Amino acid sequence: MAGSLIVGDWVEIRSAEEILGTLDERGTLESLPFMPEMLPFIGRRFQVFKRATKTCDTISKQGFRRVRDTVMLEGLRCDGSSHGGCQAGCLLFWKESWLRRVPAGTNVEFASAHAKGAGNQLDLVYHELAARVKRVVQAESGDEPTYMCLITEMKKASLPMAWWDIRHYAADVTCGNRTLKEVVRTLLLDIFNWAQKKRGGVGFPYMEPGLLKKTPVANLNLQPGDLVRIKKPDDIMKTLDGDGKTRGLRFDVGMFRYCEGEYRVVTRAYRLIDQKTGKMIHMTEQAPCIMLDGVLCHADYQKLCPRTEYLFWREAWLEKVS
């Protein structure tokens, strides 16, 4: 592909034959898997939402990782249908080799004849691709399967990024992920927090640790479509333990931006894949993770990571709007 894709570009997802030709026997390209949940989008056209310039290391918790030749497309999230019904709703990562840039002025509503393929030949190749990527989605190990997905493999599909390397910020601006103003603000905050750490001070934003040993259970029985208001920070702090958690779920400083806002419930999640082990985490009826429409990780304090994941909320942090 001539030139890297940037935010706003239109692309066409290549044919099954072309994608199959890029994959190894594990259904991966440079360790990034092409997942079964991506199959329905073959041959269709979408707009680039973000360029994956980097990612948080959510597996070993060792800073950030550099990602290459990968983008996320507008509105395309994993539905978990081939991963045990995982409800995390992660954005799908697409290698540029799986995409074809749509020339400016082209009608973006219609896929090219090349992408559509030809009759039974495409069907056979499509099924071959589907068989390969479905074969390695899970491995039986003990009582429960171990799943492989874009997120569990992200560390293998990325490279270490030194803490002092700020080139990724320049990439964020040039590809359209962020504005120059956002990057400058983040750089200044990085410098401030580095200086505070060196002198033994507290960073920004600062969040007081909770005081509870046993955190509350709140059962609002929230369902998709319900309107809720996120509580004030002070009220949420009263539900946290010394690790900043309620019923095992951490409240992060990046969630402050949404406090006191009103949002619709998207999902009452009970099943999430553990990104480190690949095992399914099953939550109880009393302690689901609530996901809210438009309430996504903005990564203000995570080096502007572009993953844009749903934030998880406990019902104790919310109140139902009648």
Judge whether 144 lies within some domain.
yes
Q: Do 138 and 277 share a domain, yes or no?
A: no
Q: State phi, psi for 258 to the nearest 5 degrees.
A: -100, -5
pLDDT score, position 140? 64
Do 140 and 19 sit in the same domain of this protein? yes
Query: 145 and 177: one domain?
Result: no
Q: Is residue 4 part of a domain?
A: no
Same domain, 125 and 26: yes
Same domain, 176 and 149: no
pLDDT at 122: 54
Same domain, 32 and 148: yes
Number of H helices, E strands in the chain: 6, 20
Quick check: helix, strand or coil at residue 198? helix
- Tell me if 220 is assigned to some domain: no
pLDDT of amino acid 86: 97
Same domain flag for 249 and 181: no
**35 and 75 part of one domain:** yes
DSSP 274: -
What's the pLDDT at 142? 65
Q: Which of 16, 20, 39 is nearest to 117 (CA)?
A: 16
Whether the bond into 205 is cis, omega within 30 of 0:
yes
Q: How big is the CA angle at 175 (ends 40 and 53), to the nearest 5 degrees?
A: 70
Identity (one letter) of the amino acid at 238?
K
pLDDT at residue number 136: 79
Q: What is the pLDDT along the chain (322 residues), one digit of tens a residue?
A: 556 999 999 999 999 999 999 999 999 999 999 999 999 999 999 999 999 999 999 888 888 999 999 999 999 999 999 999 999 999 999 999 999 999 877 776 665 555 554 334 457 899 999 999 998 787 766 678 999 999 999 999 999 999 889 999 999 999 999 999 999 999 999 999 999 999 999 989 888 889 999 999 999 999 999 999 999 999 999 999 999 999 999 999 999 999 999 999 999 999 999 999 999 999 998 899 999 999 999 999 999 999 999 999 999 999 999 8
- What pTM did the predictor assign? 0.91
Report the interhelical angle of 167-175 vs 180-199 (nearest 10°).
160
In terms of residue numbers, what domain contains 92? 10-159
Number of compact structural domains in the chain: 3
Domain annotation covers residue 130: yes
The answer to whether residue 15 is domain-embedded is yes
